[in-house]
Structure 1
């Protein structure tokens, strides 16, 4: 296949973060591109826009609205060097049956590593031990419920990140509970996890609960509320790296205030960061980490590498490994 006409658009500075020098050189060798755009206006001014077959984009790129798609009748492949495509693709885009590749799998790896590390530290009681040592100048004695092996961990949602977390936790002989209405019994068995029917059941049985469900506005806002949080056993930890809107944060603050034995590690909140008067800032059993679980710094070049690898497969007529369908886009985080 001869070099296709292509265009690239990212937010200012993003391309330098996701495309290493090697991968930018690969892009320029594989396609006939007219440089790098950082605004929709610049992209629309491209003389060859009607001939563009491949669009490379990511954070800061435009939503694929009908008016943009109408200017790109030859478009066959969109390479999205970021995660969720829910805000990117429109109904009109899916109607065109354009191939869409997402780098979500690469973006999910550091999240899974972060969650695995956070779960290990929570099972060791790191937060409570640190607080006790600073307050009492002595080691805590209430450690009978602690330890990283053979514990019960609950996962809310069982998409790509949760499955990567589950794979990492198997080495710790962890019993994994999952609440996910889309998880079949056969799939649960294949992954060695136990499905639970209610969130309360998952919370009351788990020493650590980690949230991985997609947030669907107007559908599952505040799905984790007071009854679930109050069900946590003594000394349990709650970890959220998904979306803050999934949690009733007022109820969370109330429960944490009443239960100093609990610990919340919140990488995401709503809004981000929390409002200046949010009680989450001052509660001693809350850790706010500022949305660092996803790809940051040097981790981001893996996103560019994934989509350029997919471009090479597409040009060679091979099956895409990271293509996203319309159905998958609706249920992914």
Structure 2
């Protein structure tokens, strides 16, 4: 009795630099990956892919940070392509309308990328409620220990989330450890979904800003809709001693207004992992304001954290090879609303 034929492995191309490939997969992970797919093109250069003699065989494209936009011209060179697996978070700079018109499957490793972001926000919330950043600067300036008066402590505080996507949901779960009252503003989410997550929906962004000791921004940057969403007027509503955390996109906050408000109100604090211009111009007051901290995109996956994205990608490639639906596929609408 003859055995069933071994299914053919999907033919794949990888647009990854050697360093990024190692960060994501390591030697063992890459060996596993090349056992799941037949790697017909492996090159960090998009131009090399588009001129490669075997490009027309490529069924699965593996991408990550720095990959080119998948325009109609690029897709025309890849006629067999049926899936794009992105070993990074947002696909907004990668995917164009041509991808959706071709009805390609698009997979993102955002869920794995979002875990460290949520841990970062949780950690910054704890530090904010301990007044740690301000105390560190005051101690360095005064060479003395400031009093402990006015520090709220980590338990039972009110934390606000601006938008309630994947990262914000992960943050809300972590904040349960602190018995926090978590509030969220998101006009695109059903209030019942927020309540099921143990989060209090807030109808007006102004009310959220005015009522929370820590406010964390998770809103995607959507041209013409969310640029400058967090205005100076809203920032001035923050209660005394509040901290603003932004790990989404810098331009969601009116940065000039933020600088003005931080200058006017030294009681406020801003922890910015993203800024409108990256890095900010050399003359930006954000470098010198005593109540602002810049951390430069450390919230997302770095170093060994990236292996989690590689594991997610490998799992999705196994599903695609088996003819199963991926667990982390992204629709056109979802891609538009993600950071």
TM-score by length of 1: 0.96
- The alpha-carbon deviation at position 12 of structure 1 amounts to 6.2
Contact 2:41 2:49 (8 Å CA) reproduced = no
Compute the displacement of 1:144 (Å). Answer: 3.5
Q: Which moved more, 1:277-286 or 1:67-76?
A: 67-76
The alpha carbon displacement at 1:305 in A equals 1.4
Q: Which residue of 2 aligns with 1:232?
A: 238
Pair 1:40-2:46 in alignment: yes
Count how many residue pairs are aligned between Structure 1 and Structure 2.
333
Q: 1:329 offset after TM fit, Å?
A: 0.6
Map 1:1-333 onto structure 2 (within 5 A): 1-11=7-17, 13-141=19-147, 143-333=149-339
Aligned-residue Cα RMSD (Å) equals: 1.4
SS where residue 216 of structure 2 aligns?
A: strand
TM-score w.r.t. the length of structure 2 is 0.95
Q: Is the 8 A contact 2:211 2:238 kept in 1?
A: yes
Q: Deviations over 1:84-131 (max 9, x none)?
A: 011111111101111111000011011001110000000111122223
* Offset from partner CA, 1:215-273 (integer Å, 9 cap, x none): 11222111111111111111111111111101111111111111111111111111011
1:164-189, Cα deviation, whole Å (9 max, x unpaired): 00000011111111111111121011
Partners in 2 of 1:56 and 1:280 — Cα distance?
A: 37
Write the distance in 2 (CA, Å) between the matches of 1:88 and 1:322.
16
Partner Cα separation in structure 2 for residue 135 and residue 49 of structure 1 = 60
Distance 1:206 1:166 in 2: 14
| Greater displacement, 304-313 / 141-150 | 141-150
Q: Which moved more, 1:25-34 or 1:283-292?
A: 25-34
1:12 touches 1:60 (CA, 8 Å); kept in 2?
Answer: no
Q: Give the Cα separation in 2 of the matches to 1:34 and 1:185.
A: 47
After superposition, the Cα gap between the structure-2 partners of 1:29 and 1:12, relative to the gap in structure 1 and judged at 3 Å, is closer
The separation in 2 between residues aligned to 1:57 and 1:255, in whole angstroms, is: 40
Counterpart CA distance in 2 for 1:133 and 1:186 is 45
Residue in structure 1 matched with residue 4 of structure 2 by the alignment: none
Query: What is the CA distance between 1:318 and its match in structure 2?
Result: 2.5
Structure 1: any 5+ residue segments left out of the alignment? none
Q: Is the 8 A contact 1:11 1:61 kept in 2?
A: no
1:17–1:162 Cα change, 3 Å: same
User: C-alpha separation between the residues in 1 aligned to 2:194 and 2:269?
Assistant: 28
1:175–1:193 contact (8 Å) kept in structure 2: yes
Output the CA distance in 2 between the equivalents of 1:300 and 1:5: 24
Report how far residue 315 of structure 1 moved: 1.5
